Structure 1
Amino acid sequence: MNIFIATYGSRGDVQPYIALGKGLQAAGHEVTLATSERFREEVEAHGLHFGYMNDTMLAILDTDQGREMLENTRSAFAVVKRTFSMMKQVGPLQRRLLQEGWDAARQCQPDLIIFHPKAYGGPLYAEKLGVPVILALVIPMLVPTAEHPHLGFPDLKLGAAYNRMTHALVKRLMGLSAGKPVKAWRAANGLPRQGRFDVLHTHAGKAIPVLCGFSRHVVPPPTDWPETVTTTGYWFLDGHDHWTPPPALADFLAAGPPPVYVGFGSMAGRDPQRLGRIVIDALQHAGVRGIVATGWGGLQIDAPLPDSILRIEQAPHDWLFPRMATVVHHGGAGTTAAALRAGKPSVIVPFFGDQPYWARRVHALGAGSRPLPQKTLTVEALAAAINGVDAGVREKAAALGAAIRNEDGIGNAVAQIEKLMGGA
């Protein structure tokens, strides 16, 4: 098959789809991955064809205004308010991204389209080309259920009606956000008028198959999810088995017991220097060895470090995390998955978005500490959380890691895609 994958966003929105694309390619399929230009080199380095989409939307999110919109997310309503405040700026960019995604899809001429919800043009392109479409998720955020609220809402234990309402509200807000660009694109490309836009259904109302790229051991599938939804396991982008660490890192690991990793990716917050000071002081206060990753700007460290702490830019998580005692991170879906698969306890410092959800899930599973929101993070709280990781937490994290390692998320996803296409 010739398969077109469309995704957009940060590294966590792209890397799992590269992994899925590689799995499809290994199974004999031709794969084009369309995403932001900033990931072109990485996509092509893994042997996939690249489909161009511009970088402007992500550049806006890198500005102070964008960071303010992302980081001040006390509730789903706050997110919506800030999103709509930027619509005049973002609206034209959405239309441009829709057109660029279409240009890439038309050039690919695929037999199948797989899309991330942020690349919501996927169903439109599939309709125009007359090919099947599959929604691929790495966060359990779009398929409604009566068993728990949408991850952006508090779990108020108010029952099924409240839970359904939160999912319906998110669906409605997504329709409002994407409605105008979708309507304009359909008109410009000769497609019939459509009712309210919905990424879970085609224009004719048929349910779109959904692949969930996370583990059922971490997020058990709700019993009321339809048969069109399949939880496959995580889509890990591996290949670092033979990675050679720099001498400083290799020497540090050999010089003592497993250290505590601390890294917040690109989650710089409003004051990365403050976070850097808290991290260094907390590691010393806890009396542990530490490796601090400053790559992507999440932490900034200016002062000289003691011999018990090593600063690195970055290192492959699949290589580094199994060598750690504990992993302190921001709770991004990919980093959380990597820490869980390594069988290591997590101390999660969530910033925004889905990160508080993953922090709560890890704690509920017994594989990590209570969430420590970055805005109220203190030296004492972080040190206590690191020292609070006891034998019971380590045992549960190790067992969960073994279960995740026994899953073949990419293999399961490829098999399901081929099954769906066989039926199509």
Structure 2
Amino acid sequence: MSDPKTMQRMMDFRMGTVRIIREKLLPALRKSYEDVLAATEGADLLVSHPLAYADRLVSEKTGIPWVSTMITPYGFFSAYDLPWFPPAPVLSKRLRFLGPTFWRPVRVLNLLATRYWAEPWYRLREEIGLPQTSELNPLVNGHSKLLHLALFSKQLGNKQLDWPRHSVITGFPTFDEDGEAELPAELTRFLNDGPPPIVFTLSVSAATVGGRFFEHSVAAAKLLGRRAGHTQLNV
């Protein structure tokens, strides 16, 4: 999706995730299932992305062990470490103090309210001869009972009581490539000139729709009295 308007629509704070799932991912579910089925022939293990909804179906159909993943703490929507809720960010921030007793039922209601998203997934599941499943919403809280990898650092979030039992926080990988690439001299001087800086990045998905992200990043660094740098992909 290289078109800026399309990216802006898909990355909308409140509705972006819904649009990606319902307009892009689910219409391609059957093709995705066929592709993964072919790609995993003879495989020993299947490790999935949170949005690769066909992977679990392939695992159950073929018997290949499946490891699920989550790439951000937000994806767990823990009642013990509540993220901002996109439809009502101000409300969720102000009511955060109510704790798990209040937010656990809200989480369940959210799963029930979005369960209809999974209708194409349920239809395909039935077509390929798999039994019914009991999750409130397999697109949101479907995870492997073998292993669930939290692909982020504990600096961003610790394991909570309502995470899947088999969750393991992996931390970030350490860059250890022994290539010949060197840092630009100006960047090397900056790094050696003081304490480690805060590094801001838009990663991949939001690279073309960052808006005022870096302006806000600079303001946050100044507020903290910290050095900072930013990285940006060429897209």
TM-score by length of 1: 0.42
CA distance in 1, matches of 2:44, 2:158: 31
Deviation at 1:90, TM superposition (A): 5.3
**Structure 2 counterpart of 1:127:** 60
**Structure 1 counterpart of 2:231:** none
1:385-423 Cα shifts (integer Å, max 9, x gaps): 554453xx57xx9xxxxxxxxxxxxxxxxxxxxxxxxxx
**Change over 3 Å in CA distance of 1:215–1:188 after alignment to 2:** same
Amino acid at match of 1:167: R
Deviates most, 149-158 or 193-202: 193-202
**Structure 2 counterpart of 1:9:** none
**Number of equivalences:** 218
**Change over 3 Å in CA distance of 1:323–1:329 after alignment to 2:** farther
**Structure 2 counterpart of 1:95:** 30
1:176 corresponds to 2:116: yes
1:79 corresponds to 2:16: yes
SS at match of 1:183: helix
1:136 corresponds to 2:69: yes
SS at match of 1:220: coil
CA distance in 2, matches of 1:125, 1:169: 29
**Change over 3 Å in CA distance of 1:110–1:147 after alignment to 2:** same
**Structure 2 counterpart of 1:234:** 172
1:190 corresponds to 2:129: yes
Amino acid at match of 2:46: I
Deviation at 1:128, TM superposition (A): 1.0
**Structure 1 counterpart of 2:82:** 149
- Is the contact made by 2:9 and 2:16 (CA closer than 8 Å) also made in structure 1? yes
CA distance in 2, matches of 1:375, 1:191: 47
1:287-335 Cα shifts (integer Å, max 9, x gaps): xxxxxxxxxxxxxxxxxxxxxxxxxxxxxxxxxxx997553433x4x9x
SS at match of 1:96: helix
Greater Cα radius of gyration, structure 1 or 2: 1
**Change over 3 Å in CA distance of 1:210–1:147 after alignment to 2:** same
**Structure 2 counterpart of 1:258:** 190
Amino acid at match of 1:374: G
SS at match of 1:211: strand
**Runs of 4+ in structure 1 over 6 Å off:** 349-352
**Structure 2 counterpart of 1:245:** 182
**Change over 3 Å in CA distance of 1:143–1:91 after alignment to 2:** closer
**Change over 3 Å in CA distance of 1:162–1:183 after alignment to 2:** same
- Is the contact made by 2:10 and 2:20 (CA closer than 8 Å) also made in structure 1? no
**Change over 3 Å in CA distance of 1:223–1:64 after alignment to 2:** same
Deviation at 1:121, TM superposition (A): 1.8
Percentage of identical aligned residues: 20
SS at match of 2:59: helix
RMSD of aligned Cα (Å): 4.2
- Is the contact made by 2:71 and 2:150 (CA closer than 8 Å) also made in structure 1? yes
SS at match of 1:131: coil
- Is the contact made by 1:115 and 1:122 (CA closer than 8 Å) also made in structure 2? yes
Deviation at 1:384, TM superposition (A): 4.9
**Change over 3 Å in CA distance of 1:132–1:374 after alignment to 2:** same
**Change over 3 Å in CA distance of 1:194–1:375 after alignment to 2:** same
SS at match of 2:130: coil
- Is the contact made by 1:134 and 1:210 (CA closer than 8 Å) also made in structure 2? yes
Unaligned stretches of 5+ in structure 1?
1-58, 260-321, 335-348, 353-372, 398-424
TM-score by length of 2: 0.68
Higher relative contact order (CA 8 A, sep 6+): 2
CA distance in 1, matches of 2:63, 2:125: 14
Deviation at 1:173, TM superposition (A): 6.0
